[in-house]
Structure 1
Amino acid sequence: MPTRRAVTGRSREPRARFAEELRLLRTARGHSLRQLGDRLGWDWSLFGKMEKGETVGGPEVVQALDTHYGTPGLLLALWELAVSDKTQFKERYRRYMALESEATSLWHFAVSVLPGLLQTPGYARGVLAAGGLKEPELTQQVEARMGRRELLEGADAPPFRTILSEAVLRTPLHDLGEWRSQLEYLAEMGRRDEVTIQVLPFSAGPFGLDSTDVWFLRLTGGRTVAYTENAYRGELIEADGPVERLQRAYDAVRDLALSPAESLKFILRMLEEVRCDPST
């Protein structure tokens, strides 16, 4: 086996370094991608995409590879460097945005923040500023986010469904005037034929997507891809197996959520509570 380079955060291309190590380990064993998939129980195409640098996979599959190859911690360390690479994050996000613009339908789950497609300028500014964004990039990002809303405008707008954890609606902006405007806009969008909004109440109890926002995009030809994100990173997932597992988790959450009609009533009740706040 060729001598490995040292694991270092100073590598110019952490993602490429991770992909290279995966190829070296597999070829040294003499395994094909299909054989590797059969041994570990994942779709072999996922490993092919990881070795090409198209995706880095998730921690579970990387840990399984570390165990399989007898390299405890090595691949996971390289994976952590790869997912923290901001340049690669931007590239993945740009690819996601390109796919989003071509999607024939979209569905989404929100843990704590409204999806960008349903945000008002005031809400977007508040959320982005809370994340540490400063001017002039703050205004640029708000404008870019508002530009995304055009996706839901017009006669050819794709169907869009979002399930909002109740926590999203229980986390107001500091500026209650802007928060009222956001709730009013959310109620308005919820009345559109091509937009479906559901609320997952706290009373639903534990659920399978309790820590990650996730988007699903149905593309021309019927293929579906997913994009998961949290406050620190995002991951575009295109392999069929992982996407299907996420879809099953999403379907289970949808079964627990309020109906669209009940959800609209919930949002309107939240709006009435804000209007009656004695501090306004």
Structure 2
Amino acid sequence: MNGKAVQLKEEADEPGWEVDPDDEWGVAVVETVGRQLKLRREALGMRAADFGTAVGYGEDMVYKIESGKRIPRPEFLDRADELLGAGGLLSAMKEDVKKVRYPKNVREIAKLEAQAVELGVYVGLSLHGLLQTPEHARALFEVWQPAYSPEEAERRMAARMARKAIFERSPAPALSFVQEEATLRRPVGGTMVWRQQLEHLLEVGQLRNVTLQVMPTNSEAHPGLSGRIEVLKFSDGTAVGRSDGAYNGRPISDPKQLRILELRYGTIRAQALPPRESLAFIEQLLGET
């Protein structure tokens, strides 16, 4: 077996590639890909075992992919496209397949974030997902109750990290974060992970399109005490908001309701430390660890 095949076999065994049966679109995508693979393999008169050997997958795994029970990796689709003479058809499915890898609710959030030109968020209990390092995110998922399986925890961590592509967009969206002081003091994952997280916050807070503020624990009462607030604005003038303490936590787009969330978020920002003082505060915390 050549090096590429060995690599593919190892990657095929990685977690996070099972199909979520409640994800109708995801199931449809994977079943379509599997059906195309099977039809092209059988049209060439190639046995599943021989095809599996050629791509570095076991025969059982090939059957699982063809029946829509397993999500194929992008590298597998490229290799299958070459072996089956699909002319790029199988490789072209990589983007949809890549999206299916992540949970449905995370894909929906990521889609909104990818379209937003402005994002404003206040978080009081934990660091916002866009600010987390991989190690920090993994530590959070490992203690979730009821417990995630190792595969599901890894899947969700990868999905959370994929959302961070928002920092690489051009033109860059305006991103504003307000974090409670307590979320910065909690040593999630241990001292080293905590230090790396604080260092990451300093890096993100220095980006020109990012405003990072800290809400001191000794501050007076503010509108965020009832829970998280998040507002996303889009280029066509529309917006979506969400708050744990309003409208039952459901996403809202009504202009009147959005104005209320924007007013609350504006009040929170006014009570938080200014950006420069916030970064100095994080630097102080880092020095104390």
TM-score bin (small chain): 0.5 to 0.7
Max radius of gyration: which structure? 2
> In 1, Cα distance between the equivalents of 2:104 and 2:164?
21
Kept in 2: contact 1:93–1:234 (CA 8 A): no
CA separation of 1:107 and 1:266: change in aligned 2, threshold 3 A: same
Of 112, 118, 122, which residue of structure 2 is paired with 1:99? 112
In the alignment, what sits opposite 1:260? 275
Kept in 1: contact 2:187–2:193 (CA 8 A): no
Superposition pairs of residues 212-251 of structure 1, within 5 angstroms: 212-229=227-244, 235-251=250-266
> In 2, Cα distance between the equivalents of 1:105 and 1:216?
8
1:121 aligns with 2:130: no
> In 2, Cα distance between the equivalents of 1:212 and 1:131?
19
Gaps of 5+ in 2: 1-102
Of 160, 163, 167, which residue of structure 2 is paired with 1:148? 163
* Alpha-carbon offset, residue 260 of structure 1: 0.5
CA separation of 1:111 and 1:245: change in aligned 2, threshold 3 A: same
Q: Partner of 1:147: helix, strand, or coil? A: helix
* Alpha-carbon offset, residue 119 of structure 1: 0.7
Kept in 1: contact 2:135–2:189 (CA 8 A): no
Residue type matched to 1:214 in 2? I
* Alpha-carbon offset, residue 159 of structure 1: 1.2
> In 1, Cα distance between the equivalents of 2:282 and 2:234?
30
Q: Partner of 1:198: helix, strand, or coil? A: strand
> In 2, Cα distance between the equivalents of 1:241 and 1:252?
17
Residue type matched to 2:253 in 1? E
Q: What is the TM-score normalised by the length of structure 1? A: 0.61
* Alpha-carbon offset, residue 234 of structure 1: 5.2
* Alpha-carbon offset, residue 92 of structure 1: 6.4
The range that moved more, 264-273 or 123-132, is 123-132
In the alignment, what sits opposite 2:42? none
Q: Partner of 1:108: helix, strand, or coil? A: strand
Gaps of 5+ in 1: 1-89, 275-280
In the alignment, what sits opposite 1:186? 201
* Alpha-carbon offset, residue 99 of structure 1: 1.9
> In 2, Cα distance between the equivalents of 1:120 and 1:96?
18
Q: Partner of 2:211: helix, strand, or coil? A: strand
Q: What's the % identity of the aligned pairs?
A: 32
Aligned residues: 183
Kept in 2: contact 1:96–1:236 (CA 8 A): no
> In 1, Cα distance between the equivalents of 2:113 and 2:203?
22
> In 2, Cα distance between the equivalents of 1:219 and 1:155?
14
CA separation of 1:168 and 1:183: change in aligned 2, threshold 3 A: same
> In 2, Cα distance between the equivalents of 1:185 and 1:203?
25
Runs (4+) off by over 4 Å: 90-94
> In 1, Cα distance between the equivalents of 2:170 and 2:285?
30
* Alpha-carbon offset, residue 156 of structure 1: 2.2
* Alpha-carbon offset, residue 154 of structure 1: 4.3
CA separation of 1:113 and 1:121: change in aligned 2, threshold 3 A: same
Residue type matched to 1:112 in 2? L
Q: What is the TM-score normalised by the length of structure 2? A: 0.59
CA separation of 1:111 and 1:239: change in aligned 2, threshold 3 A: same
* Alpha-carbon offset, residue 206 of structure 1: 0.9
Residue type matched to 1:195 in 2? V
Superposition RMSD in Å: 2.0
Kept in 2: contact 1:111–1:211 (CA 8 A): no
In the alignment, what sits opposite 1:177? 192
Deviations 1:22-52 (A, max 9, x none): xxxxxxxxxxxxxxxxxxxxxxxxxxxxxxx
Kept in 1: contact 2:121–2:176 (CA 8 A): yes
In the alignment, what sits opposite 2:219? 204
CA separation of 1:154 and 1:93: change in aligned 2, threshold 3 A: closer
Deviations 1:58-85 (A, max 9, x none): xxxxxxxxxxxxxxxxxxxxxxxxxxxx
> In 1, Cα distance between the equivalents of 2:282 and 2:180?
12
CA separation of 1:192 and 1:102: change in aligned 2, threshold 3 A: same
